Structure 1
Amino acid sequence: MSASDDIEIVRGRAELLDQVRPLWLALRNHHNKIAPDLGPVREDDESWRRRRAQYEAWLGDERAFVLLARRQHRAVGYAFVRVEQQGSPTWEGDGLGADLETLSLLPEARGTGLGARLIALVRDEVERRGYAQLSLTAVASNHDALRFYEREGFTATFVVLRDTGRR
């Protein structure tokens, strides 16, 4: 797959979730490879059941959406975005913010520019709707993803630390 391949990207909601399942499982498998220290991953059906339930709950907010990338009618990537009220007792800048909850591409679609296209479309929506910011969370050991997000203009603002001293 190259960046010039014919990719269709559609915006939708719950009607796209059935097509998202293999993409979610590809991400779950990738997380298992790059973060084995986080423990065993859930079985396919259980992992998807839980993630789908989260997506359906977030889609209860009309502002949430899915971008699904297809090549020849086969899903090859997606972005899931939810919107929430953001604010800080420390910093100014309250308002609605978009959270790029998930960005996943099938392994053969990585490195083709598709991830950047999906982020650009998410940014367009964030700008069009006037949201205060766009943020995302990434697994700390996912070095390729972190480099990609940094190239796309994201910077780390908070770091979550996990107590591994207690067993």
Structure 2
Amino acid sequence: MACSSALFTEDAGAHDLTLNLNWPTEHGLARFTKALSDPDRLVMVAEDGDQIIGHLTGSLSGPSLMRPLLVATLGSIYVRPAYRGQKIGVNLVEEFKAWARRHGAQYAGVTAYAGNEGAVRFYERNGFAMRSVVLETSL
């Protein structure tokens, strides 16, 4: 849960004022526990000894009448700052893509905050391309 909390603080805390930054500590354990028994969900961790230094979550959806193919979504990825630049994130993404292909997915997607230019560059270096933009406004 520490990596999920750190991701919320570092990413959403800087880019999305609408998210509950306490969600990982309040609800994360139940969500991750449920995901572990769902064949359409993926939860991976990167470890250094007995310490979790990163994670990746993914899911499968479809096919549907609107999108007639199986889609894999990279839900979240986080690597502790001290371990960045060591290909840990790259390896997690490669494992996610391999998992998606094994399950028959024909497409993979991920969302990133527009203001998180480092994340956008990371995803682009790992084969993802910008396809859509979400615009929001305060009311």
TM-score (norm 1): 0.72
Aligned partners of 1:58 and 1:82 also within 8 Å: no
2:48 paired with 1:82? no
Q: List alignment gaps of at least 5 residues for structure 2.
A: none
Distance 1:95 1:26, change over 3 A: same
2:116 paired with 1:142? yes
Q: What does residue range 12-23 of structure 1 map to in structure 2 within 5 Å?
A: 21-23=1-3
127-136 or 68-77, which deviates more: 127-136
The percent identity for this pair of structures is 25
Q: 1:151 offset after TM fit, Å?
A: 0.9
Distance 1:52 1:85, change over 3 A: farther
* RCO higher in structure (CA 8 A, sep ≥6): 1
Q: 1:54 offset after TM fit, Å?
A: 3.6
Aligned partners of 1:70 and 1:77 also within 8 Å: yes
Distance 1:110 1:33, change over 3 A: farther
- What is the alpha-carbon distance in structure 2 between the residues aligned to residue 150 and residue 100 of structure 1? 14
Aligned partners of 2:35 and 2:43 also within 8 Å: no
- What is the alpha-carbon distance in structure 2 between the residues aligned to residue 156 and residue 26 of structure 1? 25
Cα distance per residue 1:124-159 (max 9 Å; x no partner):
111222212111111221111111111111111121
1:25 counterpart residue number:
5
TM-score (norm 2): 0.85
Q: 1:42 offset after TM fit, Å?
A: 3.0
Q: List alignment gaps of at least 5 residues for structure 1.
A: 1-20
Aligned partners of 1:25 and 1:48 also within 8 Å: yes
Q: 1:87 offset after TM fit, Å?
A: 4.5
Count of residue pairs brought into register by the alignment: 139
- What is the alpha-carbon distance in structure 1 between the residues aligned to residue 12 and residue 70 of structure 2? 32
Give the counterpart of 1:51 among 9, 28, 41. 28
Q: Structure 1 segments of 4 or more deviating over 6 A?
A: none
Q: What does residue range 112-123 of structure 1 map to in structure 2 within 5 Å?
A: 112-123=86-97
52-61 or 24-33, which deviates more: 52-61
Larger Cα-atom Rg: 1
Q: Which amino acid aligns with 1:24?
A: S
2:47 counterpart residue number:
70
- What is the alpha-carbon distance in structure 1 between the residues aligned to residue 69 and residue 36 of structure 2? 19
Distance 1:87 1:70, change over 3 A: same
